[in-house]
Amino acid sequence: MHEKVVITGMGAVTPVGLGVGATWRALAEGRSGIGPITKFDVSAYDSRIAGELKGFDPGEYMDRKEAKRADPFTQYAIAAAKEAMEQSGLDTSEQNGNRIGCIIGSGIGGLTTWEAQHSILLEKGPSRVSPFFIPMMIADMASGQVSMIHGTRGTNYAIVSACASGAHAIGEAFRMIRLGELDAAIAGGAEATIAPMALAGFCSLKALSTRNDEPEKASRPFERDRDGFVLGEGAAVLILESECHAKARGAIIFAEVAGYGSTADAHHITAPSPGGEGAARAMALALRSAGARPEEIDYINAHGTSTQLNDKFETMAIHTVFGEHARKLAVSSTKSMTGHLLGGAGAVEMVATVMALRESLLPPTINMDNADPECDLDYVPNQARRATVRLALSNSFGFGGHNVALAVRKYPAES
């Protein structure tokens, strides 16, 4: 008998807002968080825009001395986890800490720290490299720090699967709770890659939009004139619990995590498998895990990166899985507003999906000026839409051929 898994808390710091409330309001209003990069001189780069966090002060979420010893991606995770734990009211103690896990993914980890310390190495020599360099840089430190702060002593690790990292973290936490291995988990993703090396690398890949004069219009998933994705930064964290554990402590339940599907393309280091074959299998597995039929899905929060192949093949995958129902369900990409948070994207989009269920409101895909004939679904263009959402999917796909689909059900389920 599987445990039912529910969500009792959420936290987020994103390019469109600090906190879940601010983030959701921006998404519902169709506001872009994309603008010129201000962190460093970008005059020599082809792409000079990104979704930066605005007004983020790590001292509001953690001790300032400790903040100096944490890479930005860890700071973002700590901030999101703080909000989620406060909202959830989940208490950790000597008695229950062993049954609470923490899984927070990151696609790249402490790149900002790596760049800064590498410069010190070259300019001042090895003796001047910080003793905190390694623990600040490694990708597991967001999960490790959050676990230390909140006293969770169950499973604790980071998942690194590129842009599927945050979704994988939530999926694995769901699986462990469902199997009775944990009572609860802090799960999500964090990323801070608006840095010279990352920007140069993605520019060299020709993966980024160069619509520098109109940054708020640069991320345009599924649209005919899309020219690449836009980097974003931030984090999101969710508190997952078994339903019986949440009910026993009187927690407010926001939604049920109903299913999880994970596959590999085994095809190419960056390109998705032709026709979205791997993505289709992930969605099908999530449906099976949820015990749901394709026609029960009302909404999909798409991976929707604003790149040519991803958007086309994700559309094809949806047609493969849903058949005629694909024309009836709504699909939108909140990356049109946040940009692409890489390892943090799946967690941010899971928060958006939960809010869509709770608020009966579909966030739009903005910048849909001209339909791409190869992307022929209902992408909720430009304006949010009122709709009853009983069961939804959130898709995340990553370089290396990683595919994740998460199924989320309204709670309590409508009969």
Eight-state DSSP code of residue 389:
-
Task: Catalytic residue, from 150, 168, 245, 303: name it.
Answer: 303
Torsion sign over Cα 299, 301, 306, 311: negative
- The residues, ordered by sequence, that sit 6+ positions from 126 with a Cβ below 8 Å of its Cβ are none
Dihedral angle computed from the Cα positions of residues 301, 303, 4 and 265, in that order, rounded to the nearest 10 degrees: 150
118 is catalytic: no
Q: Which residues pair with 103 in a beta bridge?
A: 157, 187
- The CB-side HSE value for 276 (13 A sphere, CA atoms) comes to 28
Amino acid at 55: G
* C-beta separation of 314 from 273 below 8 A: no
**Encoded tokens for 22:** 């601010």
340 is catalytic: yes
- The beta strands (E) that lie in 60-106 are given as 100-105
Task: Catalytic residue, from 163, 203, 245, 402: name it.
Answer: 163
102 is catalytic: no
- Of the candidates 378, 380, 247, 239, the one whose C-alpha atom is nearest the C-alpha of residue 319 is 378
CA distance 346 to 166: 5
Task: Catalytic residue, from 203, 340, 375, 402: name it.
Answer: 340
The helix (H) or strand (E) run that includes residue 402 is strand 402-410
Residue 295 CA: distances (Å) to CA of 322, 376, 385, 390, 391:
7, 18, 20, 11, 10
Task: Provide the annotated active-site residues.
Answer: 163, 303, 340
